[in-house]
């Protein structure tokens, strides 16, 4: 993996670098959630959600308009997946916000049940993201010119 300030050397590296950053933020959120720290989990999730929105905007406006006609998947597939990811992310964000607003639950089964429900709620989001990233790594990263990708992700 190239250093954060160096340009990725392969087409897939541009996507991997961006996805790894977002995945690390979501992972940090989940660790706070597992620890029952709803306030920190919420703060991390809000940071991740803002980064996700920026990521989707870059892909939708700077990359997807250049998907070739003979691409493995049409740009519309990626756009629809972005919409689904954003919807699931917003639903999870609302659940975590609600948990953070509630009075702290005492240690024990009710607290663990609340944490488990939030983790279960994040499962579909993580599943869709995983498949979306795989689609981008196996196809889109190879179908778009590397200079276009580098320009799109410059500074991010």
Task: Judge whether 71 lies within some domain.
Answer: yes
Task: Judge whether 16 lies within some domain.
Answer: no
| Domains contained in the chain, number | 1
pLDDT for the residue 4? 45
The answer to whether residues 71 and 142 touch, using CB atoms and an 8 Å cutoff, is no
How far apart, in whole angstroms, are the C-alpha atoms of residue 59 and residue 38? 31
User: In 36-74, where does DSSP find H-type helix?
Assistant: 38-58
Task: Judge whether 4 lies within some domain.
Answer: no
pLDDT for the residue 92? 98
pLDDT for the residue 90? 98
pLDDT for the residue 9? 57
The first and second tokens of residue 103, run together, are: 């009075």
Low-confidence stretches of the chain (pLDDT < 50) are: 1-8
pLDDT for the residue 11? 61
Task: Judge whether 1 lies within some domain.
Answer: no
Task: Judge whether 149 lies within some domain.
Answer: yes
The answer to whether residues 85 and 128 touch, using CB atoms and an 8 Å cutoff, is yes
The first and second tokens of residue 38, run together, are: 């709803």
Task: Judge whether 133 lies within some domain.
Answer: yes
Which domain does 126 fall in, by range? 24-153
pLDDT for the residue 106? 77
């Amino acid at each position: 993996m190239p250093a954060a300030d160096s340009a990725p050397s392969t087409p897939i590296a541009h996507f991997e670098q961006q996805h790894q950053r977002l995945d690390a933020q979501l992972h940090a959120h989940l660790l706070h959630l597992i620890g029952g720290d709803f306030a920190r989990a919420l703060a991390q999730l809000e940071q991740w959600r803002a980064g996700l929105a920026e990521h989707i905007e870059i892909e939708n406006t700077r990359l997807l308009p250049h998907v070739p006609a003979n691409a493995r998947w049409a740009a519309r597939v990626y756009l629809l997946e972005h919409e689904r990811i954003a919807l699931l992310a917003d639903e999870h964000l609302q659940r975590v916000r609600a948990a953070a607003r509630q009075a702290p639950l005492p240690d024990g089964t009710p607290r663990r049940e609340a944490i488990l429900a939030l983790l279960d709620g994040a499962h579909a989001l993580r599943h869709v993201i995983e498949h979306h990233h795989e689609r981008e790594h196996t196809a889109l990263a190879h179908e778009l010119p590397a200079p276009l990708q580098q320009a799109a992700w410059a500074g991010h």
